[in-house]
């Protein structure tokens, strides 16, 4: 009985599937993946596609001869700079286009506590970063990446810059027992919180449409009686409206003012359900239906490249290397590959 699978497993250990299942027409050159890693394991990584090896390699490690660190959270390209936030390691790396570190930014509050960087958003000339201890940071590339911070709500995560204001989602994930339900509105010039907007509990990601009048906010709820939601904030009057998507876990801004929505959930015996991706017209605030027919098993995160129009869906079981699906703007699968790291959070073409 028990010995049979054991013997079989002995034979199969050596075999491994090809890591990249590629459509011949698609070129992955320039594709970069950020792997979050696992908390406390120092295994965040930036992987770049190597056309010669036809595989992904740790480009940050090979460029700097050191690892990225613990929890690679976000990656942002502004001008010639690549910003990477490493939350557990409490560091922001500013790299050149070859991922060589040109600046290591450590942010601390007035009491000297190191702060943990989360997500980025860029205005025309500044980079904003949420700091998990309850702050928003502003990085000024023209002043040797000087940072100033301002207080926002508890445990801020996603953020968006819209016409002189920064909207910050205060998740409150670490306020014992209670999640937060606000967005902080920070004025760019005064760099102070000027107001707050009430949304569903545990807001995560904030995306503005191109005309800057609507703000899309995804929230995870309290994992109990309050469900996750996708809400729309009308910035002209401050009103908040719910959308009809259920089981919303992640959203991403794509090309042509399209919002991609990853939805999932679990069945009654806690089996995770596969993820579904929907497309939403952000200008008209109207649904465009299911974006891709693929049922994404172990779906984890979604990101999109507004320049190329590609949509990236990642999958993870949190214990083995993840997978990345590359889709074109019509939802067709171009490529699927192993992310060569744990918990791929974001992909982009450089």
Distances (CA, A) of 40 to 43, 88, 318: 8, 7, 13
Shortest Å distance, C-beta 179 to other proteins: 11
Q: Output the CA–CA distances (angstroms, integers) from residue 128 to 34, 133, 204, 257, in the order listed.
A: 19, 15, 16, 22
The smaller minimum CB distance to other proteins, of residues 161 and 260, is found at 260
Quote the CA–CA distance of 92 and 344 in Å, as a whole number.
Answer: 18
Q: Between 236 and 270, name the residue whose CB sits nearer to other proteins.
A: 270
Choose between 289 and 319: whose C-beta lies nearer to other proteins: 319
Residues that bind other proteins (CB under 8 A): 2-3, 5-6, 8-10, 12-13, 38, 40-43, 61, 64-67, 69-70, 86, 88-91, 104, 109, 111, 113-116, 132-134, 154-155, 174-177, 220, 223-224, 228, 247, 249-250, 262, 264-266, 269-270, 272-273, 275, 298-300, 316-321, 338, 341-342
Q: How far is CA 27 from the centre of its chain?
A: 23
Cα distance between residue 30 and residue 49, in whole Å: 6
Nearer of residues 114 and 239 to other proteins, judged by Cβ: 114
Map residue 6 onto helix, strand or coil. Answer: helix
CB 4, min distance to other proteins, A: 10
Closest CA to 182 of 208, 151, 156: 156
Do residues 342 and 38 make contact, with C-beta atoms less than 8 angstroms apart? yes
Continuous segment of H or E residues that includes residue 62: helix 59-64
Per DSSP, the residues of 269-338 read T-PEEEEEEEEEETTTTEEEEES----BTTEEEEEE-TTT--EEEEE--SSS--EEEEE-TTS-EEEEEE
Of 130 and 209, nearer to other proteins (C-beta) is 130
Nearest-approach distance from CB 77 to other proteins, in angstroms: 22
- For residue 313, the minimal CB distance to other proteins (Å) is 11
**Closest approach of Cβ 92 to other proteins, in Å?**
10
Token digits for 195?
């107001």
**Least distance in Å: CB of 303 to other proteins?**
15
Q: Which is nearer to other proteins, 93 or 120 (CB)?
A: 93
């Amino acid at each position: 009985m028990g010995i049979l699978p054991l013997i079989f497993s002995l034979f199969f250990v050596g075999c491994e599937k090809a890591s990249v299942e590629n459509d011949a027409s698609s070129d992955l050159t320039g594709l970069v993946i950020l792997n979050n890693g696992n908390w406390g394991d120092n295994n965040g990584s930036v992987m770049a596609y190597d056309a010669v090896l036809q595989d992904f390699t740790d480009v940050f490690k090979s460029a700097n001869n050191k690892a990225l660190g613990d929890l690679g959270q976000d990656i942002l390209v502004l001008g010639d700079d690549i910003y990477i936030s490493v939350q557990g390691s409490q560091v922001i790396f500013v790299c050149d286009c070859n991922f060589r570190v040109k600046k290591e930014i450590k942010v601390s509050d007035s009491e000297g506590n190191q702060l943990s960087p989360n997500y980025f958003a860029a205005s025309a000339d500044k980079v904003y970063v949420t700091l998990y201890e309850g702050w928003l940071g502003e990085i000024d590339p023209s002043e040797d990446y000087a940072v100033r911070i301002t207080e926002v709500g508890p445990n801020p995560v996603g953020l968006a810059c819209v016409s002189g204001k920064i909207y910050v989602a205060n998740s409150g994930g670490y306020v014992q027992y209670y999640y937060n339900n606000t967005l902080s509105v920070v004025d760019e010039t005064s760099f102070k919180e000027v107001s707050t907007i009430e949304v569903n509990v545990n807001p995560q990601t904030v995306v503005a449409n191109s005309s800057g009048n609507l703000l899309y906010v995804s929230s995870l709820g309290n994992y109990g009686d309050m469900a996750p939601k996708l809400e729309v904030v009308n910035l002209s009057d401050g009103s908040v409206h719910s959308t009809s998507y259920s089981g919303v876990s992640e959203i991403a801004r794509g090309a042509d003012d399209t919002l991609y929505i990853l939805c999932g959930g679990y069945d009654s015996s806690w089996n995770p359900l596969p993820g579904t991706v929907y497309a939403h017209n952000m200008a008209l605030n109207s649904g465009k239906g299911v974006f891709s027919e693929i049922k994404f098993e172990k779906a984890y995160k979604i990101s999109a490249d507004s320049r190329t129009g590609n949509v990236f869906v990642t999958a993870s079981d949190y214990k083995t290397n993840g997978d990345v699906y590359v889709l074109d703007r019509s939802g067709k699968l171009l490529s699927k590959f192993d992310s060569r790291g744990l918990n791929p959070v974001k992909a982009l073409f450089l």
